[in-house]
Amino acid sequence: MKNSCKLLHLNRIQIGIILFVTLSSSNISAQETTIPKIPTEWPLNMQNSMSSKRLILIEHSKIYDAKVDDFNARCGLVKENDYQKLSACRKKSGILDAESDLLDKEVEIFLATFNDNERIYKAYKEQKEFKESEQVKIDQIITEQKHLIQQRLKEPNRWSNGVINSLKTNEPPLPYKRFNELESGDVILFSPSQESSITDKITGKAIIKADQIASGSNVSSASHTVTYLKEENGKKLFLDNIPGQGPKIISEDELLKSYGDRDTQVAKLNTYGIAQPLNKEEAIKLYETAKEMEVKNKADKVNKAGNLVDTTNYGAIGKDNIVCSEASWILLKSTGREMPKSKSQEAKTLGVDFSPSDFYENVQYFLVTPLSINSEKKMY
């Protein structure tokens, strides 16, 4: 603006008259071209705010140009001996110089704000494009998972055949299930570790004893449950839920490192005495719910950062808190399968809707068999 609007300089010419040489004031159309127009792709609130600032700036430019035109008309030619008018014009020239500087500053602030908003919009646009690309990846994963489940459903259900054969021949069904035969929705039941610390052993046995007392049955030997979700890139994924961590998706390497030394059983979904794995839509819903539980737990851990005890979404007491068996129960319910609450009134009184023993007790919903993992996977 200073190149076109810094108007006032004194020069002497031969005819003995002092001339205020004035560069023409910037016309409004030229002024508008120096002030960038507001992009229509910006968010509406950002457009409205900047459009208002732009109109104000243009109006200030019009007012300034009118003053310049008036000055040029009054002081364009001043006689050398007209000291009074010459003094007045010099004073007016100084005032216009100051107003020009203020207008320059106003334009500078507007452009800085404009550039800031442009950067904000670009960051917003990049984030939106990233989310859209991530959604494409998720859709690809779901498509791949559908294909894998379809392949699995084409294979015969050997567990159903095993139970049917056992009913016909009075022979027991298949003695155990292998780790590589896990299907989405299978709940792994872990006994306490024999190699853990004394504290962990006592805690595990205490959980079993409390569960047995509450359920009135000694059939359960499980102190912890983990739910199998799916296989991705050749690795199995599980939902775990432990004190100090809360619901969290873990890999098979993490599972084997933490629980590989334990006695293990698996609870399979069961209908009318026959094991029934999740169908493809149910398996997808199971995994999506597990991801939602993990995300919510991460957010709640931040909100609970100042707590001494309730620091995650694990636990029998506390809003939205659940124990490991409840996490498995909630996942299975999310698929649309009918899931009962615990038969134990004592467990429900303690705030636990589903305990490890309920997987054994609800034989119309679950088939519990041994699970072999340490014979096929390297232990850490």
Q: Which of 83, 117, 132 is the last residue before a domain boundary?
A: 132
What range defines the domain where residue 52 resides? 2-132
Q: For all residues of the chain together, what is the average pLDDT?
A: 76
Q: Which of 74, 106, 132 is the last residue before a domain boundary?
A: 132
Are 209 and 217 contacting, i.e. CB atoms less than 8 angstroms apart?
A: no
Are 167 and 272 contacting, i.e. CB atoms less than 8 angstroms apart?
A: no
Residue environment code for 74-99, b if the CB has 16+ CB neighbours within 10 A, otherwise e: ebeebeeeeeeebeebeebbeebeeb
Q: Is 155 within the bounds of a domain?
A: no
Q: Is 328 within the bounds of a domain?
A: yes
14-54 residue pLDDT tens? 223 333 444 334 443 344 446 888 999 888 888 899 999 99
Q: At 168, which amino acid appears?
A: K
- Do 40 and 188 fall within a single domain? no
Are 265 and 369 contacting, i.e. CB atoms less than 8 angstroms apart?
A: yes
Q: Is 139 within the bounds of a domain?
A: no
184-212 residue pLDDT tens? 999 999 888 766 555 454 455 555 555 55
- Do 242 and 296 fall within a single domain? yes
- Do 205 and 123 fall within a single domain? no
- Do 32 and 96 fall within a single domain? yes
User: What is the CATH classification number for the domain harbouring 341?
Assistant: 3.90.1720.10
pLDDT at 371 over 80: yes
- Do 182 and 122 fall within a single domain? no
pLDDT at 9 over 50: no
Q: Which of 132, 156, 182 is the last residue before a domain boundary?
A: 132
Closest CA to 268 of 342, 160, 124, 106: 160
- Do 236 and 368 fall within a single domain? yes
- Do 220 and 345 fall within a single domain? yes
Q: Is 37 within the bounds of a domain?
A: yes
Cα–Cα distances in Å, from 157 out to 76, 177, 277, 278, 329?
101, 13, 9, 12, 23
Q: Is 157 within the bounds of a domain?
A: no
Choose between 130 and 111: higher pLDDT. 111
Confidence (pLDDT) at 68: 84
354-365 residue pLDDT tens? 888 888 888 788
Q: How many domains does the chain have?
A: 2
Q: Is 59 within the bounds of a domain?
A: yes
148-186 residue pLDDT tens? 767 666 654 545 555 555 555 555 555 567 888 899 999
Q: Is 160 within the bounds of a domain?
A: no
Using a 10 angstrom Cβ sphere, with 0-12 exposed, 13-18 middle and 19 or more buried, the burial of residue 295 is exposed
Q: Is 48 within the bounds of a domain?
A: yes
- Do 62 and 127 fall within a single domain? yes
- Do 127 and 176 fall within a single domain? no
**Which of 3-12, 246-255, 271-280 is least confident?**
3-12
